[in-house]
Amino acid sequence: MKNLRVAVVPTETTGNGIDQSSTVEEILACKETVLYPITDYFKAQNDGELPIHRSFLIDIEKKINLTGTNIDGIHMNTKASQISEIKKIIREWGSTSTSELELESSPCISSIGNDKQNVSQLVEMFYADHVEAITYQHDVEIGWDDIDYEDLSNEIINEIWHIMMDYDTEQQKTMDRCKSENY
């Protein structure tokens, strides 16, 4: 409990850009954010001392958003959290593709039929706000779609999240190598 804080961000003012999909870094960087120990937050809320606001339960030591976590520690809003992290990583390091990342296979949105009659839709490009999926019949490209992350299944988001976590790690390693070579 000692590491838990309620981040209160007023919603009466506009332009702070904080919403339920904001990252911990964005929430904590917002100049309007006020951090309360949990007991102080409830007292201030019950006493009517707080403005109309969004609130986030933050572990300030680990820098993770626990909003939506139940008492057993199972995150109730995993998809939204993963999408937020995916978007943050891509904003930081740039768009990428399955071929650039040298993945063994692309995330498969759907697949029906078999052999030469197979039609499948695979995620091939990752952008900050959507993916580009290519539809194939056997090995022939027959269509392209831009799909928002929010419209993808939990399973596909989880797969993309793992891919992006690896991407983030590799990019950070590259950045660290470049910094050490310059010194």
Residue of 23, 2, 16, 36 whose CA lies nearest to 65: 23
4-48: pLDDT as tens digits: 999 999 887 667 888 877 888 889 999 999 999 999 999 999 998
What contacts 177, CB < 8 A, 6 or more positions away? none
Q: Residue 114: how many CA atoms within 13 Å on its side-chain side? A: 0
Instruction: Please give the biggest Cα pair distance in the chain.
Output: 68
Digit-coded pLDDT (tens) for 98-129 = 999 999 999 999 999 988 889 999 999 999 99
**pLDDT, tens digit, 9 for 90 and up, residues 86-106:** 999 999 999 999 999 999 999
Q: Is the pTM of this model over 0.85?
A: no
